[in-house]
Chains A and B, each alone.
Chain A
Amino acid sequence: SQTIHQWPATLVQPVGSPLSLECTVEGTSNPNLYWYRQAAGRGLQLLFYSVGIGQISSEVPQNLSASRPQDRQFILSSKKLLLSDSGFYLCAWMGGPGELFFGEGSRLTVL
C-alpha cells in the first residue's frame, strides 16, 4: 500500500535561518506531488506541485522553493525564513482525479 511521510513534524526556527522539509512517498511510482501551507487566516494554500523529477510548478510567489531530486522525494526549502513563513506545511500525492493523500504535516514556527 502507499504511504507518505513528512519530517520533521515540528520545528522552531529564527528569522533568517534556512529551512528544509522533506516528504517521501512509498508504494507508488511517478506520483504528482504537492506542497500546501495552512496558516491562520489564509486557509490551505497550494505552494508547489510536481509531475516528475526536476519538474516544479510554483503557484504562489514567495520566499520558498521546492525540489524533486528523486521520483518519490519532494523537498521544500528556504534560504532565509520570514515570520510570515510560519504555518502548517502539508505534502500530498495524487492517487486519482482530485484525490489527494496527505502526510502528517510539519508545523513551522518562525520567531
Chain B
Amino acid sequence: SQELEQSPQSLIVQEGKNLTINCTSSKTLYGLYWYKQKYGEGLIFLMMLQKGGEEKSHEKITAKLDEKKQQSSLHITASQPSHAGIYLCGADKGGTSYDKVIFGPGTSLSVIP
C-alpha cells in the first residue's frame, strides 16, 4: 500500500518569506491531496493533483505534482501568520480507489510576525 513521507518535519519562517514543503510517495500517485490543520482542529482540504506535471494554486499556496507522479511540493509565497499550522499530504491507500485516503506525517509551519 501507499506510504508518504514529508520534509521538513517542521519549519519556522519570518513573515513575508517563501517556503516549500515536500511530499514523497513510495508508489506512483493516482491522486495527491494537500490538507491544512490548525492545531487541535480538523483538517481542511486545500487541493488535489492528479496529472503528472500538474500545478494548482489556492490563494498564495501553489502545489505541483512531478512528471513521475511520486513527488509533490507545496509552495507558500510571502507567508503570513494565517498560514501557520500543520500541512499534510494525502493519497489513496490502494493506489486507484479514491475511497481511502492515507496521510503523510505532516509538516508543522510556524510564521513569526
**A residues bordering B, Cβ < 8 Å?**
32, 34, 36, 43-44, 46, 49, 51, 57, 59, 88, 90, 92, 94, 97-105, 107
Q: Is the Cβ of A44 less than 8 Å from the Cβ of B42?
A: no
Q: Is the Cβ of B42 less than 8 Å from the Cβ of A104?
A: yes
**B residues bordering A, Cβ < 8 Å?**
31, 33, 35, 40-45, 48, 88, 90, 92-93, 98-106
Q: Is the Cβ of B33 less than 8 Å from the Cβ of A98?
A: yes
Q: How far is the CA of A35 from the CA of B42 in the complex (A)?
A: 12
Main secondary structure of the interface of A (DSSP, over half): strand
- Tell me which of B33, B42, B93, B106 contacts A43 (CB under 8 A): B106
Chain B hits for A49, CB < 8 A:
99-100
Q: How far is the CA of A88 from the CA of B38 in the complex (A)?
A: 13
Q: Is the Cβ of B101 less than 8 Å from the Cβ of A46?
A: yes
Q: Is the Cβ of A44 less than 8 Å from the Cβ of B106?
A: yes
- Tell me which of A46, A90, A99 contacts B102 (CB under 8 A): A46
CB A41 to nearest CB in B, in angstroms, measures 9
Q: How far is the CA of A36 from the CA of B100 in the complex (A)?
A: 11
Given contacts A98-B90, A99-B48, contact A51 B99 (CB under 8 A): yes
Q: Is the Cβ of B106 less than 8 Å from the Cβ of A46?
A: no
Chain A hits for B48, CB < 8 A:
97-99
A90 and chain B: residue at smallest CB distance: B42
Q: How far is the CA of A96 from the CA of B105 in the complex (A)?
A: 23
